A and B are shown apart, each in its own frame.
Chain A
Amino acid sequence: MLSRIAESLFWIGRYLERADDTARILDVQMQVLIEDPGMDEHTSCEQLLSVMGVENYTGHPNRWMMLDLLAHNPESPTSIAAAIGAARESARRARETLSTDIWAAINTTWRGLGTARAMRAPDMFNWVRNRTAMISGIADSTMSRDDGWHFYMLGRSIERVDMTARLLSTAALASGPQVAWPTTLRACGAYESFIRAYRGIEADRQAAEFLLLDRWFPRSIVSSLAEAERALGKLGSAGQRSGFSDEAQRLLGRARTELEYRPLTDIVYDLPVEMERLQRSCAAASDAVSARYFAESEMHTWRGGVVL
C-alpha cells in the first residue's frame, strides 16, 4: 500500500488510543484529587504534566490548568481535543482506504468535540472512552486484515504501551497509593479482571504486575507489546532464519523480554524510571517504522531543470 496512507493509518491508531488513554489518565488523577484530601494539588498536577511530557506552561499547575492542557485546549498538542483533531485529519488523508463507517465515526467524534468540551470532566472522559471504543469496534468489524489494518494495530499498540507506561508512572508517583492503584486499575477497565485473576487480593505490587505483565489482559504492557510485534511480523515479508532485521521488531522484542524475564522487584523498585525507558523504546520503534515503511518521500523541488 501507499507509504503515505500506511502512515496515516498508523497515526489514526496512535491518536485515537492517545485520546482514549489521556481520558483514562485524567480520570484517575481527578478521582485521586477528590478522594485523597491529603494530596497536594500543585505537586501532583505538576508530576502528571511532567509524566505526560508537558513542559512549556506558565503559572502554577492546578487541576483546571491540567484539564486545559491535557483535555480541552485544541492548541495544546498533548490534549484530547488535539489528538482527536489529528486523528480526524489523518483519516481525511486516508479517506479512500477507510470504510465509510469508520470515517463517519471519526468525523462525528471530531464534530462532537465542542459539546464534549462543555461537559463536566468525568462525563467528557466517559464520552471519549465511548467514542474511541466505538471507532475501534467499527474498525475491528469492517477493516480487511491487510497491511492497512496491521499499520493501524501497530500504531494503536505502540501508543498503548507508551500511555500505559505513563499511567503506571502516575500511579507510582501518587502520594496515596491506596487510592491510586485501584483507581488506575479501574481506569484501564482492568479492575474486575484483576480481582478475578488475583482472587480479590489487592496489593500495589500485584496491580503493577497485572498492568505490566498479564498476558491475557489486552491493555497490559506485555500484551500490547506482543500485539505490536505481531503486527510487525505480518508486515515484514520473509521469515528470517535468525535474529531480526527489522529494527522496530528488535526494539519492541527487547523491551518485552526485559519485562518478562527480569524479577518483578527490580522493575517496580523504581517504576517511573523503568517506564520512562519503555517510552523511549516506543519512540525509537516508532521512528524505525517510519524509516522503513513511510520513508518521507524524498522531497522533490524542481528548480531550473535540476531535481533538488
Chain B
Amino acid sequence: MFEGSEVRPSYGQVHASFEKMGADEVRLRADSLASSYLEQGVTFGVEGEERPFPLDIVPRLIEAEDWDHVERGVRQRVLALEKFLADAYGPGELFADGVVPRETVVTSPHYHRVVAGLEPANGVRVHVAGVDLIRDGNGDFRVLEDNVRVPSGVSYVMTNRRALSAALPEVFADHRIRPVSQYSQRLLAALRKAAPAGVSDPTVVVLTPGVYNSAYFEHTLLARTMGVELVEGRDLVCRSGRVMMRTTQGLEPVHVIYRRIDDEFLDPVQFRPDSALGVPGIINAARAGHVTIANAVGNGVADDKLLYTYVPDLIRYYLSEEPILRNVDTWRMGEADQREEVLDRLDELVLKPVDGSGGKGIVIGPAASKEELEELRTKILLDPRAWIAQPVISLSTVPTLVEHGIRPRHVDLRPFAVHDGDDVFVLPGGLTRVALPEGELIVNSSRGGGSKDTWVLARPTDPDDEGDAPPTATPVTGISQSAGPALDGDVPELQVHEQEQQQQQGDAQAGDRTC
C-alpha cells in the first residue's frame, strides 16, 4: 500500500476504507474472518493436523495492464511447455536440434519412460498449470518456477474471495474486481474435452490420496464445485484395460481422472509396488486410450528446476516468440564454469535442489552458517545436476495485518491456468502467499505462511466484465405474501375480553390435572 511513506495509488481506496474503519474494527473483522475459516473447515494439513489457512484481511491489488502482461506470459509458457512435453516424450526433435541436452531430460527423476509415445486424447498434457511469480526490485514479474504436475492452492483463491467479500463489502463496492468463480466450470469443461475418443458424455472424477493429504480440502472443493465424484484409489478398479468405480449399483466406467496423486503413487504396477494409494493397471488403461489422466503422467520433467533454465529457449524454439515473462537469473551447477563461479559466492546466493518443491532443501546463502555452506558445497560437488543457484531477490512486499498493525511482508503469486486444447484460460489473480514472519523470504504455507485475496482490477472500459460485486436483482412486486389466521391484534376487543374470561374458567376446571 505504501511506496516509501506514500500510499501507492492503486491502494488509495483500500487505504482510505481501512483508515475510516479504524484499527479496532479492522482487527475485529480479521478475527471473524479467521473464525469463519475454522467453521467452514478451510484447512490444510501439516503433519496430519488440520490447520486453518491464514487469510490476511488486506487484499493485494493488481492493475489491469500488469495483469494483462502476466496473463499473456503465463499462456505463452504453458503452450511452450506443452510442446516441450509432447516432443520430449515423442519424436525428440529438441534433442536433435540441440536446444536441450537429452541428458538433462532423461536424468530427471520425474522422467517416466513408461509414458513415452503415449498420445493424450486431445493432445493436452498440462490441463492445469500453476506458475510461481515474484516481483523483483523494479516491480517486474519474474517466473520462479513452473508447476505442471499437480499445482495446488486454487481452492484458496475461491474461498478467499468469498470470505473477504463478506468481511469487506464496502471495499469491494469501491472496486471493479475480476471474478474468480468460473474456475471450476472451466476446469470441468477442459477435463470433459480431454475425454477418450468416442466418449460423448464422459464421467470425470477427482482422485485424492485421502483425508490425510494436506490438500484434501482443495480436492473436496474441486469435486464439489464441479459436481463430480471424489474418489480414492480403493474406489477404483481396472477391468480389461478400463477404469471402473465401485458404486452402490456396481461398477461404473470412469473416463477422465483429474488426479491429485503424484506419479510415483499412481500405479503400483508401474511405480512403487508398495503404494496402496493408487490403482493397479491405471497406466495401461491410459495407454490403451480408455481413460485420460490429467495432468499427464511424466509432466514432472517440465517442473525440474534445471529444465526451468531452458524455458526461455523453448519459447523461442517452439513458438518463435520472445519470452514475455523473464526467468530469475540462474546458474546451472552441471556446467563447470558456472559451478565454479557459484562455489566462490555461495554465501551470496540461493541454492535450490532441482526437484524440490515447497521450499524444501533450499539454502539461502547470506542466512546460512559456515558449516551449512560447507555441507552444501560437498553436496553440490557430489551431484551437480541436482542443484541450481539464483541471486537473492528482494521480493516485493504488500501491506499485511500482523500483531503490531499493518506492515510490509514478502509475497509471491501463483496464477492458475487451464488448458482445454484450444485455449489457455488464466484465472484472474491467483494465490498470493505471504510470509508472515518479518523478513522471511520463503512464503510456503508449511512455514507459517498465509494468503491474501488477490484482486485483478477490471479496466474502466471493460464492457463485459462485471467484477465480483453482488448482482443487483430487480425485486418482484405485485404478489403479496400469504398470511396465516388472524392474530390477536386483529381481534375485536370485546372478543379478547371473552377469551380471557373463558381462559380463566378453563384453568379453574383443569385444577389439579396440570401436568
Contacts and interface: CB of A to CB of B under 8 A. Distances in A.
A3 B235 contact: yes
B246 A302 contact: no
A108 B39 contact: yes
Contact of A111 (B38, B269, B273, B280): B38
Contacts of B206: 96
B40 A2 contact: no
Interface residues of A, number: 39
Interface string A284-308: 0000000001110111111111010
Interface in A113-172: 147, 151
A107 B230 contact: no
Contacts of B247: 1-3
A63 interface: no
B398 interface: no
A200 B513 contact: yes
B41 A96 contact: no
Contacts of B219: 96
B222 to A, nearest CB: 8
B245 A2 contact: yes
A97 B198 CA distance: 29
B40 A3 contact: no
Interface in B220-234: 220-221, 223-224, 229-232, 234
Interface size class of B (residues with CB under 8 A): 20 to 34
B235 A96 contact: no
B273 A302 contact: yes
A215 interface: no
Contacts, number: 83
Interface string B284-304: 000000000000000000000
Given A2-B247, A3-B235, A3-B248, A107 B269 contact: no
A4 interface: yes
A257 interface: no
A130 to B, nearest CB: 17
Given A5-B229, A301-B276, A307-B280, A92 B211 contact: yes
Nearest to A106: B41
Contacts of B229: 1-2, 5, 96
A15 interface: no
B40 A293 contact: no
Contacts of B211: 89, 92-93
B438 to A, nearest CB: 31
A304 B245 CA distance: 24
B248 A1 contact: yes
B280 A302 contact: yes
B268 interface: yes
A6 B248 CA distance: 7
A103 interface: yes
B479 interface: no
B486 interface: no
Interface string B255-281: 000000000000011000110100010
B41 A103 contact: yes
A264 interface: no
A5 B280 CA distance: 22
Nearest to B245: A2
Interface string A222-248: 000000000000010100000000000
B96 interface: no
| Most-contacted residue by chain A among B245, B248, B273 (CB, 10 A) | B248
Given A2-B229, A4-B232, A95-B224, A302 B248 contact: no
B515 interface: yes
Contacts of B223: 96
Interface in B3-42: 38-41
Nearest to A6: B248
A96 B234 contact: no
A107 B513 contact: no
A208 B277 CA distance: 51
Contacts of A6: 248
A161 B513 CA distance: 32
A237 B250 CA distance: 12
A103 B40 CA distance: 7
B39 A95 contact: no
Given A4-B234, A195-B515, 4 more contacts: A5-B229, A107-B41, A297-B246, A298-B237
Task: Please provide the 3 A-B residue pairs with the shortest distance between their CB atoms, ordered closest to farther.
Answer: A95-B220, A96-B223, A302-B268
Interface of A: 1-6, 89, 92-93, 95-97, 100, 103-104, 107-108, 111, 147, 151, 182, 191, 195, 200, 235, 237, 293-295, 297-305, 307
13 contacts: A1-B248, A3-B235, A3-B247, A89-B211, A95-B220, A95-B230, A96-B206, A96-B220, A104-B39, A295-B246, A297-B246, A303-B273, A304-B273
